[in-house]
Amino acid sequence: MLIEGKFITPDNDMSDINNIRYKVFIEELKIKEDMICDGLDEKALHVVIYENDNNKKYPVAGGRIIIEADHGLISHVAVIKDFRGKGYGDLVVRMLVNKAFEKNIPIAYVNTPINCRRFFEKIGFTSIDNESKNFNKEYKKMVLYKEKNTRKCM
């Protein structure tokens, strides 16, 4: 089995990213589609992770980062349920973070559901504010500074 991580820009075919989001956020988590389709994809750099098995390529995980002048904001990180526990989410986040840091962006942020906080802590993110509510869930804003990035997948 071969794993492939691919960067996608908004002018590329976004169907694999959109299919992952639909399966995870809308079908599984029951988040309303208008909350996921926020109009910011055109400003973002996306990552898709593919699992290749017997010459068939399956999109299994994805995420995006919006890079501003002094920070990157990671969001929409999703792994299809049957493919969790294989490190694909970790790979998505590290690819996005490393791309931002390669562009000399010093800080990466994520606004994550409280129950996903430990996932981001393993990568090196730390909490920077109190919880907030979004999508009827509690969220935590977290940050990773370039100098604390380890580049090792978990």
Global pTM? Answer: 0.89
Mean pLDDT, rounded, for 77-84:
96
What does the pLDDT look like over 69-79, one tens digit per residue? 899 999 999 99
Burial-class residue 83 by CB neighbours within 10 Å (0-12, 13-18, 19+): middle
Mean pLDDT, rounded, for 21-36:
88
pLDDT for res 69:
86
**Residues 145, 132: Cα–Cα separation, whole Å:** 22
What is the residue extent of each domain of the chain? 2-148
Return the CATH number of 2-148, one of 3.40.630.30, 3.40.50.2300, 3.30.465.10, 3.40.50.150.
Answer: 3.40.630.30
State the residue for tokens 């986040």.
93
List, in sequence order, every beta strand (DSSP E) within 2-136.
2-8, 44-53, 56-67, 72-79, 107-113, 126-127, 132-134
Confidence of residue 36 (pLDDT cuts 50, 70, 90): confident
Highest mean pLDDT among 17-21, 112-116, 146-150: 17-21
